[in-house]
């Protein structure tokens, strides 16, 4: 893999982890590390073998609202903690929201195929700076002792 691609992916992964962590820490009482794990979860699709094909490709099934709903409802059914369910919804949802704005977009209507996207450079320098600033601001705001939105 070329260096530019490695740096791009590293920045994208770090952004998804930071945004997920900030949202979980800022708005729930769940363990903020859930924001890292579940903020990155949709990109586990990078581990799918290339030979498998649609929908087990990057920006395939793991980047759909159906997947997010399945994760949240499935985890809630097992754990029965609203704070954890809210944390997972925020973390996975933030990943999908960010990626949905990118040129490649996501499959909002899966299993139907769509190709709509606003085409924003959400993993470019400007958007990354905005997302990191907002996330750090949220972390600082919550660390300031203000109550969560329970």
Q: How far is the CB of 126 from Zn ion (least distance, A)?
A: 19
Count interface residues toward Zn ion (CB under 5 A): 3
CA 5 to chain centre: 19
Min CB(25)–Zn ion separation in Å: 21
Q: Tally the C-alpha atoms within 13 A of residue 81's C-alpha that lie toward its C-beta.
A: 9
Q: How far is the CB of 14 from Zn ion (least distance, A)?
A: 13
Distances (CA, A) of 52 to 45, 56, 85, 131: 11, 6, 30, 33
Residues 103-142 that bind Zn ion (CB under 5 A): none
Q: What angle do helix axes 3-27 and 33-40 make, rounded to 10 degrees?
A: 130
Among 39, 40, 41, 99, binds Zn ion (CB under 5 A): 99
Least distance CB 101 / Zn ion (angstroms): 11
Measured from the CB atom, the residue of 29 and 45 that comes closer to Zn ion is 45
Applying CB under 5 A, among 24, 43, 92, 105 the residue interacting with Zn ion is 43
Other C-beta atoms closer than 10 Å to the C-beta of 12 total 19
- Which stretches of the chain bind Zn ion, using CB under 5 A? 42-43, 99
């Amino acid at each position: 893999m070329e260096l530019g691609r490695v740096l791009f992916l590293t920045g994208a992964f770090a952004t998804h982890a930071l945004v997920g962590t900030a949202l979980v820490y800022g708005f729930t009482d769940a363990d903020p590390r859930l924001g890292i794990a579940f903020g990155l979860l949709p990109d586990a699709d990078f581990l799918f073998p290339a030979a498998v094909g649609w929908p087990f490709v990057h920006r395939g099934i793991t980047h759909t609202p159906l997947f997010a709903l399945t994760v949240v409802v499935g985890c809630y059914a097992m754990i029965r903690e609203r704070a954890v369910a809210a944390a997972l919804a925020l973390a996975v949802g933030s990943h999908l929201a960010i990626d949905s704005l990118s040129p490649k977009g996501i499959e909002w209507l899966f299993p139907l195929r769509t190709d709509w996207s606003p085409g924003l450079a959400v993993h470019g320098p400007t958007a990354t700076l905005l997302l990191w600033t907002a996330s750090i601001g949220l972390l600082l705001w919550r660390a300031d002792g203000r109550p969560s939105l329970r």
